[in-house]
Amino acid sequence: MIINFNFDPDMEWIISFIEIYVPFGQSILWIISMMIAIYIRIIRCFLDSLMEITGLYHWTQRNRIPPITHPLLLHTATELVEKTRTGQLKCETLVRVFIDRIKLVNPLINAVVANCFNDAIREAKEYDRRIEMALNDPLIEDNVLQLPLLGVPITIKECIPVKGMPNTAGLYSRKDFRVKEDAQVVKNVRKAGAIVLGVTNVPEFLLWWDTNNHVYGRARNPYDLSRITGGSSGGEAAIQAAAGTIIGVGSDIGGSLRIPPFFCGTFGHKPSSYMTNNQGNFPYCGHKSREKLLVNGPLCRYATDLKPLYKVIIADDEKALAQLDLDRPVDLKKSRFYFLYEDGDPFKTPVSSDVRETLQRARNFLEKDCGFICIDAQIPLMKYNFLIFLATLGDCDAPSLGEEIVERRGQLNAGIELIKGLFGRSKFRKITCMNVLLENAVHSPETRNKRFFRKIIEMGKQLRDQLNSMLEDGSILIMPCLPERAPKHSGTFLRVNNCGYTSVFNVMEMPVTQVAMGIGKRSKMPVGFQIIAKRLNDRYTLAAAELFAKKFGGWQPPCGVQIN
């Protein structure tokens, strides 16, 4: 692998001088760039080793999830709707089966942090009454049999308001707060017939990719309780992977609908920007220019449920439904499939053999079984993905993170809180304080006006143009979601730049679908990849996800299956 190293803009005259006047100048520059890249890679491996050592504190805990014993837990949402609609299955029966499963697995994974089980059972009984009347009297004026999610249990990410439920985003200061009204996206899923069972765990202020906070504690990966679920939709992905629910709603500003499904072996879809209603989500974007980064979206155990749930999520927006036209047929034979196995950034964790092997399996299937065109992607600017995301996030005059965390009632003194946290006296996680200190250092107005900052913003625009050109006519990019399996708890701090693999596509405003590809041979943990298309071409990534799921099976249980 050749890594192109770009020198600082202020050194461009030196580079030009060497190239023109020094014998073998280009060769010398190539050697220097390779030496620097190797040096950076050595540092990266050292940092990863430190994180692995930190993770040794958490003993491996595989095969702890109780076996699946009821057949209803293994059906897709689409299949269950057909059963409730035809009267083969009572909604109450379905809801009780999933409530029992949540009660069984949640003490182990800490995914569902507040429930409304009693309300869910009452709703299910009411649906059963309406269904019976509609089936027995065809003349009755009730559209209950046409509801697309009729009787299906669903959970919602805790940062999205659900009436009567907490909406803390993991902040201790909001631990007693309760929501008075559903967010629009929750109204949409209820109107479609889904039955809300509760809300799921998140990181503190949704700031990290490890779901842990001082209100609810840590969520755990069902495949290995010593490993993280990802964030910030970590609780949602974990409860689905453990067969506690089938579908759910999450949000994504930098990878939260993809990283948790990758770590937990399920499916997620980050919609094209501006296509979903995010009103009511806490925390807020902070500034209008950041709205393109934040989307709500579906998380599902089965790929076939992504599109139906996505359509429900945007059901209140006729313009979005028309623009996306999700039911328009997709002919993937006309698409070109670009593969990127690594982004080229030597300061990120090297892509593991399991992830590479998974990408190659997908490519072999497309080329040999389907006869599709697959091409190696050449995207040099992709190596700067994390810098592009950070610069875009900070390129506005929004209130500071320290202000947002205290809900604009002053400013968080992150330094003091960090010191207090060392002695267990702070109500904020140490990583939250570190994020505030980092933002204070790099997101000042003075920094935004510097030449290197503007160059990064410009690189983001160039990357968008390159991707849009490459993904014309329904073409698709397939690449890692992250370089490796879920880290151990406490093993994420020095790996944060790995999230550039996902966060850059929020800046690009493109749809991305995370695909589950089973369990890795070496890691014994879920593996998969993300599929990217041009903005508003969501139907292409969803169709490709269904194609891969049909071939490779998708989700695999983290436990035994013992159906009597």
Structural domains in the chain, sorted by start? 1-56 (no CATH), 71-389+450-552 (3.90.1300.10)
CB 263 within 8 A of CB 238: no
In sequence order, the 6+-apart residues with CB closer than 8 A to the CB of 299 are 233, 236, 237, 240, 247, 248, 249, 250, 257, 260, 261, 266, 267, 268
Count other C-beta atoms under 10 Å from residue 88's C-beta: 9
Report the DSSP pairing between strands 295-300 and 247-252: antiparallel
Q: Give the DSSP per-residue string, 267-311.
A: EEEEPPTT-S--TT-SS--SSGGGGGG-EEEEEESSGGGHHHHHH
Most distant CA pair in the chain: distance in Å? 90
CA distance 559 to 221: 12
Q: Give the three-class secondary structure for 153.
A: strand
Residue 7 is predicted with a pLDDT of 40
CA distance 429 to 442: 21
Q: What is the token pair recorded at 287?
A: 């500034």
Residue 232 preceded by cis peptide, ω within 30: yes
Per-residue pLDDT of the chain (564 residues; tens, 9 = 90+): 333 434 444 455 455 555 555 556 567 666 777 788 788 889 999 999 999 998 988 999 999 999 999 999 999 999 999 999 999 999 999 999 999 999 999 999 999 999 999 999 999 999 999 999 999 998 888 999 999 999 999 999 999 999 999 999 999 999 999 999 999 999 999 999 999 999 999 999 999 999 999 999 999 999 999 999 999 999 999 999 999 999 999 999 999 999 999 999 999 999 999 999 999 999 988 778 888 999 999 999 999 999 999 999 999 999 999 999 999 999 999 999 999 999 999 999 999 999 999 999 999 999 999 999 999 999 999 999 999 999 999 998 888 899 999 999 999 999 999 999 989 999 999 999 999 998 887 777 888 889 899 999 999 999 999 999 999 999 999 999 999 999 999 999 999 999 999 999 999 999 999 999 999 999 999 999 999 999 999 999 999 999 999 999 999 999 999 997
Catalytic residue among 157, 311, 383, 488: 157
CA distance 110 to 308: 28
| Burial of 178 per CB tally in 10 Å (0-12, 13-18, 19+) | middle
Handedness of CA 7, 11, 13, 16 (dihedral sign): negative
> Where would I find the H helices in 23-151?
25-55, 77-85, 91-109, 117-136
CA distance 235 to 299: 11
Residue 286 is predicted with a pLDDT of 75
| Burial of 416 per CB tally in 10 Å (0-12, 13-18, 19+) | exposed
Residue 107 preceded by cis peptide, ω within 30: no
420 noted as active-site residue: no
Residue 38 is predicted with a pLDDT of 85
CA distance 2 to 526: 29
Q: Within 13 Å of residue 152, how many CA atoms lie on the same side as its CB?
A: 33
157 noted as active-site residue: yes
Angstrom CA distances, 308 to 147, 257, 284, 312, stand at 11, 16, 27, 6
- Provide the terminal-to-terminal Cα distance of the chain, rounded to the nearest Å: 52
> Where would I find the H helices in 331-378?
353-364
Catalytic residue among 83, 90, 226, 232: 232
Helix 91-109 vs helix 117-136: crossing angle, to nearest 10? 160
> Where would I find the H helices in 376-413?
385-394, 401-405
Give the global pTM: 0.94
CA distance 9 to 42: 25
Backbone angles phi, psi at 438, to 5 degrees: -65, -45
CB 294 within 8 A of CB 238: no
Catalytic residue among 226, 233, 251, 256: 256
